[in-house]
Amino acid sequence: MGRRIAEVSTPARLAGPDEGLGRDELGLAARNHGLPLEALRHDLTPPGLHYVLTHYDIPYVPDETAWRLMVGGRVHRSLSLSPARLRGYPAVTARVTLECAGNGRALLTPRPVSQPWLVEAAGTADWTGVPLRVLLDEAGVRSDAVDVVFTGADHGVERGKEQDYRRSLPLGVATGDDPEVLVAYAMNGMPLPPQHGSPLRLVVPGWYGMAHVKWLREITVADTPFTGFQQSVAYRIRQEPGDEGEPVTRIAPRALMVPPGFPDFMSRTRFVAPGTVTLEGRAWSGRAPVTGVEVSTDDGATWQPAGLEPEHGHRWAWRRWSHTWTAVPGEHVLCARARDAAGNVQPVEQAWNRGGFANNAVQRVPVLCTGSP
Amino acid sequence: MGRRIAEVSTPARLAGPDEGLGRDELGLAARNHGLPLEALRHDLTPPGLHYVLTHYDIPYVPDETAWRLMVGGRVHRSLSLSPARLRGYPAVTARVTLECAGNGRALLTPRPVSQPWLVEAAGTADWTGVPLRVLLDEAGVRSDAVDVVFTGADHGVERGKEQDYRRSLPLGVATGDDPEVLVAYAMNGMPLPPQHGSPLRLVVPGWYGMAHVKWLREITVADTPFTGFQQSVAYRIRQEPGDEGEPVTRIAPRALMVPPGFPDFMSRTRFVAPGTVTLEGRAWSGRAPVTGVEVSTDDGATWQPAGLEPEHGHRWAWRRWSHTWTAVPGEHVLCARARDAAGNVQPVEQAWNRGGFANNAVQRVPVLCTGSP
């Protein structure tokens, strides 16, 4: 039977030259979904349009009253917290843009075979909950602690290894206040939907989605660095399978554009009429505040600065940008790129890595401008 | 420019032998999404988990007060109805299972190149609105009317043809009361989300999704049969491109199973422990009430009847079924099939058609039973 497990739960691999997407990638694409890019018009992503990525099944929790979040490990007092009890703490709400670490993966050559995102694995919500540091303070972290490990109720097999979904944060990040990590129980003022972690999830503003552990049931303070599958095998930037690699952490800058005009059903090519077209979109970075967005209407040959709206007090949420374009008949490729205060700029060329993580190469939007399509 | 339009908006085609999914199919799969099958446990599909298929962009309607639904054509009195005015009519709520006509398409060989669904393009919601026949009565349908045409605000190009999304129903269906067609403004007691047709959509219980026109802005009574693109070009059961074909109408019977145990991330193969496993799922048919569900645990070689819950007054919603299975170590392929009162039964072998419509061949769920995966 071990042989069969190894046959159905295989090592990570790269697609061959010109290899189309397989049934396995389609199985993931049919159940997970991105943000339809026209929904970038909304400050807050409407329900059901925020991207979703679940490694295993969405746990079924028809009644949350029995749910307990255990806080233990290297603490002075273990805690057992119900969702109702967490709602009794002073509530904090943060507007946060989340992005999947694998966003952009399916655009890479060769293509890492996994959830095949193009550029749409993002979304913004108001998350309400209790700061993690409040709970850790209450439990009393021991002086030998180094990592905080978060366990979700989602359970499955990945590359031959059976596991609960589990990730860690360094103690300094877990107890920090910039960003302030939340144990969240509400999304946009409503209880969490099942696919977003009902009844409890972690929210780590500025970090890629893998850190925001959903269906959170255990917080364990550890005195050794956590080396579980999702920390030391998955979610590493590697060139070769044997590399130790760099961990995936904070979100690289990205600007996305609302594709202008209207689409062809199958190719999603856009059609616009000649004249003034307002290009708009959103930009974010988890590494430092976004300081500028530039737009190209000639496939990256030249760039013009776009208008960028203020943060409006939401450091961890995307910011709206816009740019006026005078469309003339012909074919165009529109691009936008963001830069942040730490000097990070989106690359026009992709920086390949084996897992297909953090590919923030600029979005390319083919547009056909014609008087009467 | 016409040449370029024809190049980006191409005729329907079939994938070649062993041709993997292309960028175009992935573009659709990344923005549309199915029901994660574990969500079949819910009577009512939770927000965001109901399948979504939009041909073009989701229209942006930040303020519905300016929205008007026009009722005209072969009527005595044209109507112009705001969403607020529609909420003033006596409200009707119906629990309806919707399924995309293209569900099962990506399992066909050869594969029609379009939205690549496996089996998950379904969902169930409580829809609230005004019966269409109430509005048509108020407008006064003229005696020469034959079809009622519905126009959505979604606009795009498909196979070279620019269009608003538009579908019709025969007058008898539009004014009938079994099923009762609704102009709906609410889903599960909340205003429609953008992707489900906000602010107004049609709900045609028992019919595949293409009939449930979203972002409904025009109802036109016609004295000739409607021959628009989505009626006479798309959504026809054809073997050859030149065939006139049969229109896609009511939903063929289907049973779906909650995949038991837990999954492998990439292959979605299921793992279960030996012993008693409750298999459960949902079954529906738009053609006649479901009369039975059978389960096979040997890839369709033998079948046992499953327990089927009553309709609970919801003729147009799926019904829960369950079956107890004693899993023994080894590999198994689980199947379920529904039959309805009209004698329709799900086929084990697929009935191929060129558009990939109404493929209700039985779902196959590979399971590996092992003591310690």
**Tell me: the pLDDT tens digits for B85-135?**
999 999 999 999 999 999 999 999 999 999 999 999 999 999 999 999 999
CA distance A20 to chain B (A): 4
Q: Tens digits of per-residue pLDDT, A274-300? A: 999 999 999 999 999 999 999 999 999
Write out the residue limits of the CATH 3.90.420.10 domain(s) in chain B: 2-247
Task: Choose the mutation target among B25, B55, B157 for the interface with A, i.e. most A CBs under 10 Å.
Answer: B157
Q: Tens digits of per-residue pLDDT, B200-243? A: 999 999 999 999 999 999 999 999 999 999 999 999 999 999 99
CB pairs under 8 A between A and B: 224
Instruction: Please report the pLDDT score of residue A372 as a whole number.
Output: 55
Residue A263: is the preceding peptide bond cis (ω within 30°)?
A: no
C-alpha pair distances (Å), A144 with each of A140, A141, A147: 12, 8, 10
Using CA atoms, how far apart are residues A324 and A345, in angstroms rounded to an integer? Answer: 22
A34 touches chain B (CB under 8 A): yes
Instruction: Please report the pLDDT score of residue B6 as a whole number.
Output: 84
Please list every residue in chain B whose beta carbon sits closer than 8 Å to the beta carbon of residue A371: 1
Amino acid B312 reads: H
Chain B segment 117-136 residues within 8 A of A by beta carbon are 117-118, 120
pLDDT band, very low/low/confident/very high, at B278 (cuts 50, 70, 90): very high
For residues B323 and B348, the answer to whether their CB atoms sit within 8 Å is no
| Contact (CB<8Å) A267/B1 | no
Using CA atoms, how far apart are residues A346 and A360, in angstroms rounded to an integer? Answer: 6
C-alpha pair distances (Å), A161 with each of A10, A68, B53, B259: 10, 26, 35, 20
Using CA atoms, how far apart are residues B107 and B116, in angstroms rounded to an integer? Answer: 8
CA distance B115 to chain A (A): 8
Among B36, B157, B271, beta carbon nearest to A157: B271
Distance of CA B232 to the CA centre of its chain: 19
Instruction: Please report the pLDDT score of residue A107 as a whole number.
Output: 97
Closest chain B residue by Cα to residue A16:
B20
| Paired sense of beta strands A147-158 and A161-170, if any | antiparallel
A29 touches chain B (CB under 8 A): yes
Amino acid A75 reads: V
Query: Is the pLDDT score of A7 beyond 90?
Result: no
Q: Tens digits of per-residue pLDDT, A324-361? A: 999 999 999 999 999 999 999 999 988 899 999 999 99
Query: Is the pLDDT score of A109 beyond 90?
Result: yes
Write out the residue limits of the CATH 2.60.40.650 domain(s) in chain B: 254-369
Task: Choose the mutation target among A111, A157, A331 for the interface with B, i.e. most B CBs under 10 Å.
Answer: A157
Query: Where do the H-state alpha helices sit in B50-121?
Result: 83-86
B31 touches chain A (CB under 8 A): yes
| Paired sense of beta strands B363-369 and B270-272, if any | parallel
Chain B segment 199-258 residues within 8 A of A by beta carbon are none
Using CA atoms, how far apart are residues B4 and B157, in angstroms rounded to an integer? Answer: 13
Please list every residue in chain A whose beta carbon sits closer than 8 Å to the beta carbon of residue B20: 19-22
Q: Which CATH architecture has domain A2-247?
A: Alpha-Beta Complex (3.90)
Mean of the pLDDT values across residues B168-183?
Answer: 97
Q: If you average pLDDT over every residue of chain A, what do you get?
A: 96
Query: Is the pLDDT score of B324 beyond 60?
Result: yes
Task: Choose the mutation target among A13, A28, A31 for the interface with B, i.e. most B CBs under 10 Å.
Answer: A31
Chain A segment 149-208 residues within 8 A of B by beta carbon are 155-159, 162, 193-196
Closest chain B residue by Cα to residue A114:
B266
For residues B336 and B284, the answer to whether their CB atoms sit within 8 Å is no
Please list every residue in chain A whose beta carbon sits closer than 8 Å to the beta carbon of residue B264: 8-9, 156-158
Q: If you average pLDDT over every residue of chain B, what do you get?
A: 96
Residues paired with B363 in a beta bridge: B336
Task: Choose the mutation target among A38, A162, A264, A363 for the interface with B, i.e. most B CBs under 10 Å.
Answer: A264
Measured in degrees and rounded to the nearest 5, phi and psi for residue A41 equal -65, -25
| Contact (CB<8Å) A50/B49 | no
Closest chain B residue by Cα to residue A369:
B1
| Contact (CB<8Å) B368/A10 | no
3-state helix, strand, coil in chain A (%, to 5): 15, 40, 50
Place of tokens 């095998």: A233
Instruction: Please report the pLDDT score of residue A6 as a whole number.
Output: 84
A137 by DSSP, 3-state: which? Answer: helix
Instruction: Please report the pLDDT score of residue B345 as a whole number.
Output: 97
Please list every residue in chain A whose beta carbon sits closer than 8 Å to the beta carbon of residue B193: 46-49
B30 touches chain A (CB under 8 A): yes
Of the candidates A225, A279, A289, the residue with the CA atom closest to the CA atom of residue A97: A289
Checking ipTM against 0.90, whether it exceeds it is yes
Measured in degrees and rounded to the nearest 5, phi and psi for residue A31 equal -100, -35
Mean of the pLDDT values across residues B57-66?
Answer: 96
Query: Is the pLDDT score of B254 beyond 80?
Result: yes
Using CA atoms, how far apart are residues B139 and B137, in angstroms rounded to an integer? Answer: 5
Amino acid B78 reads: S
| Contact (CB<8Å) A33/B33 | yes
Measured in degrees and rounded to the nearest 5, phi and psi for residue A80 equal -130, 110
Closest chain A residue by Cα to residue B119:
A30
Of the candidates A348, A349, A350, the residue with the CA atom closest to the CA atom of residue A359: A350
Spatial neighbors of A342 by CB under 8 A, at least 6 apart, are A285, A287, A288
Closest chain A residue by Cα to residue B194:
A46
Mean of the pLDDT values across residues A108-118?
Answer: 97
Query: Is the pLDDT score of A2 beyond 80?
Result: no
Instruction: Please report the pLDDT score of residue B371 as a whole number.
Output: 76
Residues paired with A52 in a beta bridge: A33
In the sheet that holds B290-296, the strands lie side by side as B262-263, B270-272, B363-369, B330-340, B290-296, B304-305
Query: Where do the H-state alpha helices sit in B130-195?
Result: 132-139, 171-174
Task: Choose the mutation target among A18, A57, A107, A328 for the interface with B, i.e. most B CBs under 10 Å.
Answer: A57
For the entire predicted model, the pTM comes to 0.97
Closest chain A residue by Cα to residue B369:
A1
B22 touches chain A (CB under 8 A): yes
Of the candidates B17, B33, B40, the residue with the CA atom closest to the CA atom of residue B363: B40
pLDDT band, very low/low/confident/very high, at A371 (cuts 50, 70, 90): confident
A224 by DSSP, 3-state: which? Answer: coil
pLDDT band, very low/low/confident/very high, at B7 (cuts 50, 70, 90): confident
Instruction: Please report the pLDDT score of residue A1 as a whole number.
Output: 56
Please list every residue in chain B whose beta carbon sits closer than 8 Å to the beta carbon of residue A1: 329, 368, 370-371
Query: Is the pLDDT score of B1 beyond 70?
Result: no
pLDDT band, very low/low/confident/very high, at B372 (cuts 50, 70, 90): low
Q: Going by CATH, does the domain composed of B254-369 fall within 2.120.10.10?
A: no
Query: Is the pLDDT score of B151 beyond 50?
Result: yes
Please list every residue in chain A whose beta carbon sits closer than 8 Å to the beta carbon of residue B5: 271, 368, 370, 373
Please list every residue in chain B whose beta carbon sits closer than 8 Å to the beta carbon of residue A263: 56-57, 156-157
Query: Is the pLDDT score of B364 beyond 90?
Result: yes
Instruction: Please report the pLDDT score of residue B373 as a whole number.
Output: 42
Residues paired with A42 in a beta bridge: none
Closest chain A residue by Cα to residue B161:
A373
Query: Is the pLDDT score of B285 beyond 60?
Result: yes
B41 touches chain A (CB under 8 A): yes
Instruction: Please report the pLDDT score of residue A373 as a whole number.
Output: 42
CA distance B275 to chain A (A): 16
Mean of the pLDDT values across residues A115-144?
Answer: 98
A25 touches chain B (CB under 8 A): yes
B29 touches chain A (CB under 8 A): yes
Q: Which residues of B225-244 are buried (b: 16+ CB within 10 A; e: fewer)?
A: ebebbbbeebbbbeeeeeee
Please list every residue in chain B whose beta carbon sits closer than 8 Å to the beta carbon of residue A20: 19-22
Query: Where do the H-state alpha helices sit in chain B?
Result: 2-8, 23-31, 83-86, 132-139, 171-174
A49 touches chain B (CB under 8 A): yes
Of the candidates A196, A215, A258, A238, the residue with the CA atom closest to the CA atom of residue A40: A258
Spatial neighbors of B65 by CB under 8 A, at least 6 apart, are B82, B83, B84
Indicate the burial class of A187 (C-beta count within 10 angstroms; 0-12, 13-18, 19 or more). buried
pLDDT band, very low/low/confident/very high, at B4 (cuts 50, 70, 90): confident
Q: What are the DSSP calls for A14-73, one per residue?
A: BPPTTPPB-HHHHHHHHHSB---GGGGGSSSPPTTTS-B--SSPPP--S-GGG--EEEEE
Please list every residue in chain B whose beta carbon sits closer than 8 Å to the beta carbon of residue A327: none
Mean of the pLDDT values across residues A206-234?
Answer: 98
Using CA atoms, how far apart are residues A196 and A213, in angstroms rounded to an integer? Answer: 10
Q: CB-side exposure of A49: number of CA atoms within 13 Å?
A: 26
Among B30, B37, B193, beta carbon nearest to A120: B30
Using CA atoms, how far apart are residues A318 and A157, in angstroms rounded to an integer? Answer: 34
Using CA atoms, how far apart are residues A357 and A238, in angstroms rounded to an integer? Answer: 9
For residues B311 and B319, the answer to whether their CB atoms sit within 8 Å is yes
Query: Is the pLDDT score of A180 beyond 90?
Result: yes
CA distance A87 to chain B (A): 22
Q: Tens digits of per-residue pLDDT, A251-269? A: 999 999 999 999 999 999 9
Please list every residue in chain A whose beta carbon sits closer than 8 Å to the beta carbon of residue B157: 262-265, 271, 373
